[in-house]
Chain A
């Protein structure tokens, strides 16, 4: 589904350049549930932005769903984002003057789906996430967990192949975080590839595969079976702190 080959990315601020990604090689198959971890500055957000076609890379190759993504025009990028990818953000990023249903329906609006149809579909998705009674509520009338669920519904409505989540639980308390993760797990069971960026070990431990970034390289790749040992290491890390 996703193939990265020797991806490099630098940021330039004035005369300084910051080499963030230093040759990432990565393969994520369809239906995987992956988390990206790393200390701040390790390049995890940058990687997610590249995956989401929100940013360009300098060197290497990125194949998404079999297609090379490189130097895309904004228009094509928008189309790809809309059709292949779903985004979930830490701060939810709902449009404040649209109610829950309209927020969920927004990606379909950009696809040109008629208002009636897209609102009906939005209601369906809200129903799936248990938010139907709140469909007419504005974002500021919803709790954090509800907002994130609306955002998830919005990510799902365009039936994407990949869902990218940037710290989806970053702004939520533990219990709500677990609820959200349960929802994501459910989505994963339907066969959608999910990639989340997180710095919380317990959240990462719920995924099938953890990619640990270190100084712009992949430091560690912990796969399903090894999660038990990851948890052990994680506990050790906590002790040393």
Chain B
């Protein structure tokens, strides 16, 4: 294999027809290049998607209410209803599979400015939350703190705000902690600033939200006992779908809603969503490999084709080689090595170029992210080392296969026929 004469022969054979060698190599190059780019891009979308979902508890589900769609127990259909505080207690006490149960009330997002600070005003989403909400959909605390139990118990008039709120209501160098915001006519002291990790955005974008204690919000704006949204997680080892079913059944019973009413309790189950995403990306990955390997196969067939031509052109030379003592094995080895060399070099260039482009893209994305672009749904497009190595292995093997058929043909030619072919 590491024989100067052999390599000399390979190089001179390829040099003899540079354009053809180049075009052949390009087929393989393109195949592997596409494979790398597509696999990398697929991975990028996947990373971007799951990064967007962030740290959200994957076993969580959220519920809110809709008017009933069926009459039940003498109650008409189309009845408006709401979860209440007792529901929260009931779930906590009677459904042991439920782990965190966090109610929420929300308001705002409807256009008119609802938040005022001195001479500035803006419109934000107002959310009344329990501290536990942060365990379901965590946000990074940039300054100060998140809501706590004491805020709830004492119905403190404090708020935690999304970072966008700070941008709009405060000067850049101003410290918002301790300052007051007037939200729908009530003053709240800012105790924390948060930056959401996920882009799940239940009830409006988290960056543009003002979070106040649940109990404060219920009282301050006359919501009474109402709960708008329930966020629940399943205990480890339990399926969120199963817990969800149980919880919804219990809620329907408590509120005199027909068990068959599918509309009254609206819900979104992240476990299901995650599974769907996973399946989607599995599909993308499979498609990538089918298309990539198909392109590669076309390239390999091109190599095989060119090797056939080369063998035909060199029939006489092969005849001479055999007349002066080259064994069939040597001839086969020579041609296969040539083919493997061509595919491996072309493939390697495709591999390196593909990875370079992915790295470049990655760099651009990182820069954009650092500059504050939040609308990026593709992240860290990359390809595993194992995948890259597998690609190279596929190349070498396919190069060998591409060379084998022409090599076999070269050996089948009788030396004497080969010598006569002029």
Contact = CB atoms under 8 A, between A and B. Distances in A.
B321 interface: yes
Interface stretch (A30-38, A76-84, A191-199, A231-239): A76-84
A78 B322 contact: yes
Interface in A75-131: 75, 78-79, 81-83, 87, 89, 91, 93-98, 102, 106-107, 109-111, 115
B56 interface: no
19 contacts: A54-B415, A54-B416, A55-B414, A75-B328, A78-B322, A78-B326, A79-B325, A82-B324, A83-B325, A94-B320, A95-B320, A96-B317, A97-B13, A97-B16, A102-B5, A106-B324, A110-B321, A111-B325, A158-B324
A110 B416 contact: no
Interface residues of B, number: 27
Task: Please tell me the size bucket of the interface on A.
Answer: 20 to 34
B416 A55 contact: yes
A79 B327 CA distance: 7
B326 to A, nearest CB: 5
A52 interface: yes
A60 B9 CA distance: 40
A149 to B, nearest CB: 16
B324 A115 contact: no
B4 interface: yes
A173 interface: no
B316 interface: yes
Q: Please give me the 7 A-B residue pairs with the lowest Cβ-Cβ distance, nearest first.
A: A82-B325, A97-B12, A110-B325, A78-B327, A54-B416, A93-B320, A107-B324
B340 interface: no
Given A54-B416, A74-B328, A93-B419, 10 more contacts: A55-B414, A55-B416, A74-B327, A75-B327, A81-B325, A82-B324, A89-B320, A96-B317, A97-B12, A110-B330
A53 B154 CA distance: 106
A154 interface: yes
A233 B256 CA distance: 129
A91 B323 contact: no
Given A91-B422, A115-B5, A110 B328 contact: no
Interface SS of B by simple majority = helix
Interface in B219-265: none
B310 to A, nearest CB: 13
B329 interface: yes
Interface string B294-336: 0000000000000000000000110111111111111000000
Contacts of B5: 102, 109, 115
Contacts of A158: 324-325
Nearest to A102: B5
A176 interface: no
B191 interface: no
Interface string B1-41: 00011001100110010000000000000000000000000
